[in-house]
Structure 1
Amino acid sequence: MFLKRRFIKRRLLYLVIISAFMVLMFMNNGHRFTSARMGNLPRSGKHFSSANIQSLVIKKNYDDRYLIFNRVPKCGSMSLTSTSYSLGAQNGFKVASPYEDGEKPNKSGEEQMEFIKYLHSQTHPFMYIRHQYFIDFENFGEKQPIYINMIRDPIARFESFYYFSRFGNQRGGGGAKLGDQKTQETIDECVQKRRQECTKPYWQVVPYFCGQEPGCMSRSRWALDRAKENIKNHYVFVGTLEDLDDSLKILEHLIPRYFKNAAQSMKSQKTIKVRNETYTRNKRETSEAAKIFLRTETCLSLEYELYDFVRERLYQFKDMLLD
């Protein structure tokens, strides 16, 4: 009996030692994951699964001296741009948001190289904001900067773009040369008449993530899949306008160097003024029938796949960081 008790105690001791060793190994692996997968991006104090975050942020060694917000049109980007300037003053980083009449978001190889040189010549930390398709820095032998973006429900964005091209906002825009009849047509009427503007909507969202390859301009699954891969591999985070507050809070957790107090800053009177001034004029309600057509019979069906993909990732980040 005495020998049996000694044997049991010895087994229990072995189990305690093994358990302690496993805990130490887990903690060490977690630390290695943080440095290898998240690079220099700070983590919040909240605990979350490294396996889950690994599936969402798989790039390593981001060059966090530079952040690029290659903003998609009509996705609330002017409000976020205004907030970014306020955050730059608060958090100590420089912001540039250049604009040129007639500028194009796609660039030649030489223009991409020139942009990379320009970015690296700036005092850092530095945030660059522009309507510009994704540029893969690694194709030029450079470390990838932090990329972020914001998108919007595709039909809501299409509505905003459709009426903005006609009527603009308080700051300008509008004046598209369509003739009086087309200018005054609602989206419902445009769909009923099968106007090309509504049967082949401008391919405007996917290329921002797909990048600079010619194929990215095609309304295709190849372009969509490449956009998804780039979001997974090269973007720290993509938010949605419909989940703006949560998106900003997630950015606060992931990139506090740039986005500390972002959610509160978005509520400032300055940003509210910008939002009111950039609200598209003369928007009309779109019927459910027209929405169904746009969602199922046009390239917006591919945009919805991208939107749902982004939103699913957003909710995973929210579960890990906010809830």
Structure 2
Amino acid sequence: MMPPHRFQLLAVLAFGVAMLFIENQIQKLEESRAKLERVIARHEVAEVEQRHSDDVRWDSSHPVNKDDMVIIYNRVPKTASTSFTNIAYDLCGKNQFHVLHINTTKNNPVMSLQDQVRFVRNVTSWREMKPGFYHGHVAYLDFSKYGVRGKPMYINVVRDPIERLVSYYYFLRFGDDYRPGLRRRKQGDKKTFDECVSSGGSDCAPEKLWLQIPFFCGHHSECWNAGSRWALEQAKYNLVNEYLLVGVTEELEDFIMLLEAALPRFFKGATELYRTGKKSHLRKTTEKKAPNKETIAKLQQSDIWKIENEFYEFALEQFQFVRAHAVREKDGELYVLAQSFFYEKIYPKVN
């Protein structure tokens, strides 16, 4: 006969194995139940959305246009805006949206009051151009001031202030590889950026750094007063509250990836196109020379640079915060996270 203590030990082991098996089965049942609840919830949401769609397919004035999304990209000069815009042009046929360039007289980023009203009316009521992607070198415009229904979504890209100014300085003199035969405004001036700063030239003065803040600040007069801290705070407010996403030139691919994840209606295929397309890296400033340390140090003594740089770092931190909550890194590659929420306990129940 088996000794009592060995029998008790085997009984305890058998009981433990049985409990582990039961717990495992319970866990599987819980997971199955959760999956079933998600499926049921998605089905209920789909039916509710369908009923809502049927109810509002026509209102008292016009058909409901489910494809009336409008994006405005009020692009800051020399922030890789042409490279990004080319992607929109390449995708618009495939993804079926319209792209419109906002061409202002003498590239003036500030519109007259009457043009502001015209532009707002066009964007909100021009149904033939919806869905639409508008882009141009114009300052931010607050649509809520004009008594219209429906606001567009704003996006933009910013760049290190000194790097942006250096790129613009050489662009005015030598152009780029986008339209190499076009004569630029400062063509023939061979002075380097370092020489310009050293001699106190106007084309490289600290006031020329003042551009990204007013583009985000808008059409208020104070926005264009170089070094205005009020303009800085207004630009920060608009960036956080009025822009869907603001990227940085140095991390343009991540910006495009996030846009594709958030707005596939416009940007499906944009990331792959940026990585492999011939037009994505099209525009590069010719004859650009990096400034030396002395030049950078002299510009950084300016209060204007300090405020513009504060805005750039604010935008960079916000972009990195958004990215950290939207993607994960694996084997050196970034992957967009799948949807991490669902709906449940939807009442009244659908019959």
* 2:180 is aligned with 1:175: no
Give the 5 Å matches for 1:225-304. Answer: 225-272=233-280, 275-276=281-282, 278-297=283-302, 299-304=304-309
Matched pairs, number = 256
Give 1:267 deviation, angstroms. 2.6
2:230 to 198, 222, 227: 222
Question: Hey, what does 2:122 align to over in structure 1?
Answer: 118
* 2:202 is aligned with 1:196: yes
Query: How far apart are the structure 2 equivalents of 1:112 and 1:135?
Result: 8
Do the aligned partners of residues 78 and 177 (structure 1) sit closer, same or farther apart at CA in structure 2, a change above 3 Å counting?
closer
**One-letter amino acid of the counterpart of residue 184, structure 1:** K
Q: Is the 8 A contact 1:64 1:145 kept in 2?
A: no
Do the aligned partners of residues 146 and 243 (structure 1) sit closer, same or farther apart at CA in structure 2, a change above 3 Å counting?
same
Q: Is the 8 A contact 2:155 2:243 kept in 1?
A: yes
**One-letter amino acid of the counterpart of residue 150, structure 1:** V
Give 1:167 deviation, angstroms. 1.3
Give 1:90 deviation, angstroms. 2.4
Q: Secondary structure at the match of 2:301?
A: helix
Note the alpha carbon deviations across 1:75-114, whole angstroms, 9 max, x for none.
Answer: 1111111101122222221111243552311112211110
Q: Secondary structure at the match of 2:69?
A: strand
Do the aligned partners of residues 122 and 78 (structure 1) sit closer, same or farther apart at CA in structure 2, a change above 3 Å counting?
farther
Query: How far apart are the structure 2 equivalents of 1:239 and 1:185?
Result: 32
Question: Hey, what does 2:311 align to over in structure 1?
Answer: 306
Q: Which runs of 5+ in 2 are unaligned?
A: 1-37, 39-66, 329-351
Give 1:270 deviation, angstroms. 3.4
Q: Is the 8 A contact 2:173 2:184 kept in 1?
A: yes
Give 1:174 deviation, angstroms. 5.4
Question: Hey, what does 1:79 align to over in structure 2?
Answer: 83
Question: Hey, what does 1:162 align to over in structure 2?
Answer: 169
Query: How far apart are the structure 1 equivalents of 2:270 and 2:300?
Result: 33
Do the aligned partners of residues 89 and 175 (structure 1) sit closer, same or farther apart at CA in structure 2, a change above 3 Å counting?
closer
Query: How far apart are the structure 2 equivalents of 1:221 and 1:84?
Result: 34
Q: Is the 8 A contact 1:164 1:174 kept in 2?
A: no
Q: Which runs of 5+ in 1 are unaligned?
A: 1-26, 28-62
Do the aligned partners of residues 94 and 75 (structure 1) sit closer, same or farther apart at CA in structure 2, a change above 3 Å counting?
same
Note the alpha carbon deviations across 1:162-214, whole angstroms, 9 max, x for none.
Answer: 11111112315553358x6xx22211111211223333332222111100111
Give 1:115 deviation, angstroms. 0.3
Q: Secondary structure at the match of 1:96?
A: strand
Give 1:261 deviation, angstroms. 2.1
Percent identity for Structure 1 against Structure 2:
34
**One-letter amino acid of the counterpart of residue 239, structure 2:** I
Query: How far apart are the structure 2 equivalents of 1:117 and 1:225?
Result: 28
Question: What is the TM-score normalised by the length of structure 2?
Answer: 0.68
Question: What is the TM-score normalised by the length of structure 1?
Answer: 0.74
Question: Hey, what does 1:42 align to over in structure 2?
Answer: none
Question: Hey, what does 1:205 align to over in structure 2?
Answer: 212
Q: Secondary structure at the match of 1:280?
A: coil
Note the alpha carbon deviations across 1:106-148, whole angstroms, 9 max, x for none.
Answer: 1122111100111121431111111111110001122321000
Q: Secondary structure at the match of 2:154?
A: strand
Q: Is the 8 A contact 1:134 1:210 kept in 2?
A: yes
Q: Is the 8 A contact 2:73 2:156 kept in 1?
A: yes
2:103 to 99, 108, 114: 99
Q: Secondary structure at the match of 1:250?
A: helix
Q: Is the 8 A contact 2:256 2:270 kept in 1?
A: yes
Root-mean-square deviation over aligned CA pairs: 2.1
